Structure 1
Amino acid sequence: MTRPPVARRAVLVAAAAAAGLVATVPLAHALRPGAATRAAPADRAAPPLAGTGPDGTFFDLTTLHGQVIVVTVWASWCAPCRREFPVLLAALERWHGAGLRVVGLNTADRPESARRFLREAGAQAMPVVSDQDGRHAVAWAARGVPETIVVDRGGLVAARHQGEVTWAWLQSSVEPLLA
């Protein structure tokens, strides 16, 4: 016996709402106050990261081998992402000559919104990979936005920060890797 169309739609709506809740709870948990930092897995190789950015430019993380890389997982609609970008750009300006690179992983965002965000932040030159379906974010074990992952010169994950990064965190997590 089949359900009437209205009942079938109600079941689908309830299932979609439950799926949305299941997807939202881990993000809310990861971004709650006091949960901003967690330890990175020791000696874990950084996953691949290659693709086109919101401007259509192709980028492959392997081109930065031997550099210290800060991967920032962000979205234009994320207020903490907007607040942390000046800190990330200041770190890049300070430590670029020592081998620091900053790469963006733009997730769950529209290309035109991401392009506008990068232009407003003065970060048009930053390599960015668009991740509208979240596959890259999952591979990098990102639990939300913003999230920052530091990769050492050997390609291993050295540090991870959930939530908005601070200058103090960057100094303690990035600067020693540049020495």
Structure 2
Amino acid sequence: TIKLLGTAERSTALSVYVSACIVPSSHVLASIGSNGNGVAVKSANMGQCCYMGPGAGRFATANSVVADICRMAHEAPSPAFPKPSTIATAIDHDFVHYFYVRIPCAAQIAQSGNTTGVIAKVEEIARSHGISVATVSKDHPGNVCLTTASECSYSQIRQLCAAFQSESYCVGDCVFLPVGSAV
């Protein structure tokens, strides 16, 4: 299941991002409906726990946004965080995750069904970028897909996609999504 997730993790620096992510169907967040919200929290003391509830929905959210804008237009806005933080926080924009990558391939490769050479080249390029591959397969005519066998950084996966896009068999932008290890 693909879900829009906001993720925050701290090892040494704080890594925060929002992305469409592939969530395993066995995970509780995969079962949340379109107007639902959920939070999964992992901690050393508690393990993993999930909180779920109804979301506001588009009209309730739109109403709140318009009301906030009107209030700010008529009065001096108060700061969102009235107390300045005393904690120094380093932000790491290069988050680490498992990834799924879809590579759009040339029509002649898709029509011939001969993706063996392309799959071998995809694996070779991934290895040259220090990325181990769990699976490489032909998704449907026109796409070759891979999943990483180990976590890699956002910058590594962007560089990998740029390398794929420079190949003659690639006919468009690669799509990549984090795959559910943070959930």
TM-score by length of 1: 0.24
Q: Name the one with the larger strand percent.
A: 2
More helix by share: 1
Using the size of structure 2 for normalisation, the TM-score is 0.24
